[in-house]
Structures are given as structure tokens and as C-alpha cells.
Amino acid sequence: MLYRSAAQPYATPTFKHIYGDKLARALKAGKLSASYRALLAHDLATGAVAIRLSRKQAIALTHANATYVSAIAGMSESERAALRRGQLSLLARVNRRRRPSDAQVFGIVRKLGASRVMNALDQITQPTAVAAE
């Protein structure tokens, strides 16, 4: 499925990109002929066609952990490069605990109610009684 312009018959071929969800719908609906599917399979095998997969499709195809994939998606390019070199632990990145932002704390207080939060703070900070000797 390489495309060449008639004006430039020896131009560098361009790659055709196919989206996985559209391909799946077309296959399920029976809209693709046997010859088209065979050509597509050959083009996929030779690298002439690339399939763009959604994150969900890529996870299903590779049997990857969705949480790990989400963590990698949130990394910078340099962090992903360090992960590929083995200099960064994905498990440590996923399991690290983050301090909630001020906006998140305000949201929690709004959800619970200020009086309930203040009562909890009073109980936590209440002095303990010491037995007299």
C-alpha cells in the first residue's frame, strides 16, 4: 500500500496509517474482501502499513499492566529513556506516594464538611490525660 505520485514516480514512499478501531469495525462488519485483507496482511508484515492502536488496544495486544502504561504516559521523554536503559524503576514510580495538592485538600474538606474535619482535628490533637502519682 505504498503511494507514489504520478508526477514523481520515484518519490520516497509514504506510509499508510490505519487506526485499529476502524479496522476492527470493518472486519467485524465484513466490509473487507479477502484480497484486501491479504494485501493488508502483507503490507503489515513488510512495514508498508502501520496500525495506530488506542491505549486499550495496545494493552490488550501486549498484555501489559494498564497502571504501568498510564505511568509511562505521564513520564517525560528523558524519564522513558532512563526506564529503557534500566536506570529508572517503573515499580518504584508507580508505587510512590504523592502528597495531595492544596486543591485536593480543599476538595476533601468541602466534600466532608468543615465542621467534621475540625472535629477530627480536635480529637487528634486532644491532650492525653496522665495519671497522677
CB 58 within 8 Å of CB 69: yes
Q: What are 82-124's pLDDT values in tens digits? A: 989 999 888 888 887 778 889 999 999 999 999 999 999 999 9
Q: What are 7-40's pLDDT values in tens digits? A: 444 444 455 778 888 888 888 898 888 888 888 8
Query: For residue 57, with 0-12 CB atoms within 10 Å meaning exposed, 13-18 middle and 19 or more buried, which class applies?
Result: middle
The reported pLDDT for the residue numbered 11 is 42
The reported pLDDT for the residue numbered 133 is 60
The reported pLDDT for the residue numbered 2 is 44
**Higher pLDDT, residue 97 or 5:** 97
The reported pLDDT for the residue numbered 132 is 63
The reported pLDDT for the residue numbered 35 is 84
For the stretch 31-40, contacts whose Cβ atoms lie closer than 8 Å and that sit 24 or more positions apart, written own/partner, are 39/1, 40/1
